[in-house]
Structure 1
Amino acid sequence: MAEISVYEYLGEEFFFELVDKFYQRVALDAELKALYPEEDLKPAQERLAFFLIQYWGGPDTYSQQRGHPRLRMRHQPYPIDHTMREKWLACMLGALDELSPIDPPYSMMKEYFNQAALAMVNTISY
């Protein structure tokens, strides 16, 4: 039996729900929300959903619309220190926990979000 992707295992709707719950949390944190260029978080929400869908084995809609993800480059204009990383990660992992996914996808996603958030840090704060 062939191994299936996380996308196939969880389904596309899971990613839209995850991102919706994530941005509900972001909207409640004024400092974190201030990093987003749009007052309306819907465009960012759509971009993240399509990115995660593609990353976890779904259609490449994100790349068709936006090109290569280039995450570090896209996040470079925004001051992301370890505090902001922790805030972002708390929102994402809280959303993930709220959906109560089962392993192995949960542990894989948690590890990915930890590593991806660390890679976005571009500012040292004292």
Structure 2
Amino acid sequence: MAKATAVIPPDEVERRLKAELPKWRLEDGWIRRTYKTQSWKSTLMVINTVGHLAEAAWHHPDITASYAWVEVRLMSHDAKGITDRDFSLAKKIEDVVQWQPGADEATGLEGTPQGDQRFAYVKYD
């Protein structure tokens, strides 16, 4: 089992969020991010993505969801505060959920079709 890391003071958390994760915020002792989605289907896809990353990292967020949004909250329960583990997982979640291929990528992945609600997914920032 991993040792608890040091709790980061709130002013340092705020500074790091601004620099490293500008869409995340510190509120009530958690770092939080709300992802807007297009439908229940995409909400569930985001939840499952976060769940997979959290389980692989063995660091589990709290998640709240509705039809068209998902809120992810991170805090290291064992340390009773925000630690580097929270920042690491938040960055991985952000990278994966906000990733979108483009037509200019050499991989040939073109991304979700735009303009057709049948294929609507995350509302990217």
Q: TM-score, normalised by structure 1?
A: 0.37
Q: Which is strand-richer, 1 or 2?
A: 2
